[in-house]
Amino acid sequence: MTELSLVVPVYNEEKAIPPYLETVRKILREVTEDYEIIFAMDPSSDRTEEIITRENASDPRIKLLRFSRRFGQPAAVWGGLKYSSGRAVIVMDVDMQDPPEVIPEMVRIWREGEYKVVIPQRRTRSGDNPVKRLVAWCAYWFINKTATVEIPRNAGDFRLLDRLVVDELLKLKETNAFLKGLTAVVGYKYRLVPFDRKPRSAGTGKYFFTGGIFIGFNGVIAFSGALLRLMTVAGFVMAGLALLCALGLIVGKVSGWYRFDAGIATLGVLLLFLTGCQFVGMGILGAYIGRIYEETKSRPIFIVDKAVGFPEAKGA
């Protein structure tokens, strides 16, 4: 067993990998020589695989997992955790928006033995546009207001996990690997380490706006039934509004100030509004049912097509 594993999900990152390795190797020398860097790669169309394989030839501590298809970033992280052998595992991105300079402090806190999880927390997000920052703030606010576990704000998947925590995570059977939430589910004492988020070092982001919304929505569905309860509340509110409108129509008709042709327009707007609310409710209900459907199928989170630098294959 090595002391430290780095799990780095990648997809079409040929420009980002060389500067990342140059930086992280220098920093790891201050921490330990007993480490491994696992690149968990969805099949890429550029030279990402070639670069990692070449690095492995000169340094066996650099390892590669190539999946059979694009499973996505959360699944890639899960695959890296499954194949890691470190007594501590750090999950981070290759673009260095998760700054490697924080690693020595994370390892120092872990070595003290009090904390099993060390989570860097963004103090600033200069690498993100205002819309993305707003969406992230709203997502963390809603999840923490409704979830059954506490998920630290402004903290991504960048974190250090003790082997005990990793082993407990891998026992979970959920097919949607929302690491931020699942880390909170298994518990253990954690420490936050503030840092400033920087722009990407190279390449372009593969984690687009819609992808962030999807993963955030997945987190809400996985850790809270609040949206289902919200449907019930919305139903009562809409029913109350409809009743008030009906009373208003009766009063207006009796008093003589209400015109019949205007009522047709009002009724049409009301019907459209209520129908829209019904479709929203059906969509939320469908999301929960779909999640149940996905979990009951128990499909593997990832399938490894090629493993470079590992002594033996492991299942998903």
pLDDT band at 175 (very low <50, low <70, confident <90, very high): confident
Would you state the pLDDT for residue 294? Answer: 66
Query: Which residue has better confidence, 136 or 219?
Result: 136
pLDDT band at 3 (very low <50, low <70, confident <90, very high): very high
Beta-bridge mates of residue 42: none
Tens digits of per-residue pLDDT, 94-147? Answer: 988 889 999 999 999 999 999 999 999 887 755 556 666 666 666 666 666 666
Residue 285's contacts (CB-CB under 8 Å, 6 or more residues apart) are 228, 231
Question: 56 near 133, Cβ under 8 Å?
Answer: no
Count of beta carbons in the 10 Å neighbourhood of residue 53: 17
Give 193: exposed, middle or buried? Use CB within 10 Å, 0-12, 13-18, 19+: middle
pLDDT tens column, 184-217: 888 889 999 988 876 655 555 555 445 555 555 5
Full 3-state SS string of 255-315? HCCCCHHHHHHHHHHHHHHHHHHHHHHHHHHHHHHHHHHHHHHCCCCCCEEEEECCCCCCC
State residue 184's pLDDT score.
83
